[in-house]
């Protein structure tokens, strides 16, 4: 589903747990695309063909999945990373994640081509600039990706519609999550794209709605906005 020019969202609509994926088209050389969080290959309980659904969604948008040149992983949980190996080995895409998640990714059988830290990521010759924020809380090396030109924040499992990611998983931290959310709340955001469709597609559109969501979360987290 196209959200903006060159920005696509693939909202998971299956029964089982899987993440939303997002794609920025034509941002790399040779008109290659960037894909964020490819999700499961098959879901764990209902065995749904999550990767097939994603590939079909991309094709239905008139894009070639074979032209995906870079995969960004917001964090290293199986429901976000599993299909990365398909793009890496079959389509020769590069895989990037925060350096704090690299070891666990390796233990899970993956090998990142690129390691990320907080800073800017410049793509293509246009060029397209993304800001990578280290946003721990849900996992130690969780990142969020901000596209200033379009005012888009790809929030992974840090922020959902009226909820936040879990902090009870290994490496999670409520205090770090609070700090991460406070930092991001000051950004100018028109599109907030979450990592899951929990009771809501996970796409919050409009600066006012995004602001309200932040206010709600900060109140829930008992923080003064």
Partner 1 sequence: MEGRKAKTAFELAMEKVAEMPKLNADEIEEEHKKESIAKGEAIAQHYLQNIHHKTDIQNEMTAFGPEQILTARISALRCLTQELSLTKPETSRHILDGIAALNPDVSTDTALKRLNHIIHDYQTELLAAYSSFEKTEVKNLKQEGISGSAVKPNLKALNSWQVKQAKLTASHTSKLDNFQKSLLPQ
Residues 6+ apart with CB under 8 A from 138: 75, 156, 157, 158, 164, 165, 166, 167, 169, 172, 177
In 3D space, the residue among 136, 141, 3, 14 whose CA is nearest the CA of residue 72 turns out to be 141
Binds partner 1 by CB under 8 A, chosen from 25, 71, 123, 204: 123
Binds partner 1 by CB under 8 A, chosen from 117, 199, 219, 220: 117
CB of 108 or CB of 221, closer to partner 1: 108
CB of 48 to partner 1, least distance (A): 30
Helix axis angle, 207-220 relative to 174-185, nearest 10°? 150
Does 112 engage in binding with partner 1 (CB under 8 A)? yes
Does 23 engage in binding with partner 1 (CB under 8 A)? no
Q: 121 to each of 20, 72, 108, 174, how far by Cα in Å? A: 22, 11, 26, 27
| Distance, CA of 50 to CA of 12 (rounded, Å) | 8
Structure token digits, residue 141: 């090396």
Does 99 engage in binding with partner 1 (CB under 8 A)? yes
Does 127 engage in binding with partner 1 (CB under 8 A)? yes
Are residues 65 and 59 in contact, defined by beta-carbon separation less than 8 angstroms?
yes
CB of 191 to partner 1, least distance (A): 20
CB of 22 to partner 1, least distance (A): 17
Q: Binding segment for partner 1 among 24-32, 49-57, 183-191, 206-214 (CB under 8 A)?
A: 24-32
Q: Binding segment for partner 1 among 12-20, 93-101, 175-183, 216-224 (CB under 8 A)?
A: 93-101
| Distance, CA of 136 to CA of 124 (rounded, Å) | 28
Binds partner 1 by CB under 8 A, chosen from 23, 24, 25, 28: 28
State which of positions 43-82 bind partner 1 (CB under 8 A).
69-70
- At 152 the three-state DSSP class reads strand
Q: Binding segment for partner 1 among 39-47, 56-64, 92-100, 157-165 (CB under 8 A)?
A: 92-100
Structure token digits, residue 32: 């290659």
Structure token digits, residue 16: 């089982």
Does 129 engage in binding with partner 1 (CB under 8 A)? yes
| Distance, CA of 225 to CA of 217 (rounded, Å) | 9
Site residues for partner 1 per CB under 8 A: 27-29, 32, 69-70, 94, 96, 99, 102, 106, 111-125, 127, 129-132
């Amino acid at each position: 589903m196209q959200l903006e020019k060159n920005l696509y969202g693939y909202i998971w609509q299956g029964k089982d747990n899987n993440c939303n994926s997002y794609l920025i088209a034509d941002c790399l050389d040779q008109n290659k695309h960037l894909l964020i969080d490819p999700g499961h290959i098959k879901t764990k309980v209902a065995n749904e063909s999550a990767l097939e659904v994603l590939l079909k969604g991309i094709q239905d948008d008139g894009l070639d999945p074979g032209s995906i040149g870079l995969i960004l992983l917001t964090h290293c949980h199986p429901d976000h990373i599993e299909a990365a190996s398909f793009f890496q080995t079959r389509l020769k895409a590069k895989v990037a994640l925060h350096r704090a998640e690299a070891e666990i990714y390796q233990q899970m059988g993956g090998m990142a081509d690129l390691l990320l830290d907080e800073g800017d990521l410049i793509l293509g010759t246009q060029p397209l600039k993304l800001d990578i924020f280290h946003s721990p809380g849900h996992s130690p090396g969780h990142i969020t990706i901000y596209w200033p030109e379009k005012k888009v924040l790809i929030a992974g499992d840090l922020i959902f519609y009226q909820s936040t990611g879990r902090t009870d998983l290994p490496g999670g931290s409520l205090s770090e999550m609070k700090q991460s959310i406070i930092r991001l709340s000051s950004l100018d955001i028109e599109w907030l794209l979450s990592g899951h469709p929990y009771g809501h597609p996970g796409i919050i559109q409009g600066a006012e709605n995004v602001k309200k969501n932040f206010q709600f979360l900060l109140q829930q987290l008992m923080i003064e906005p």
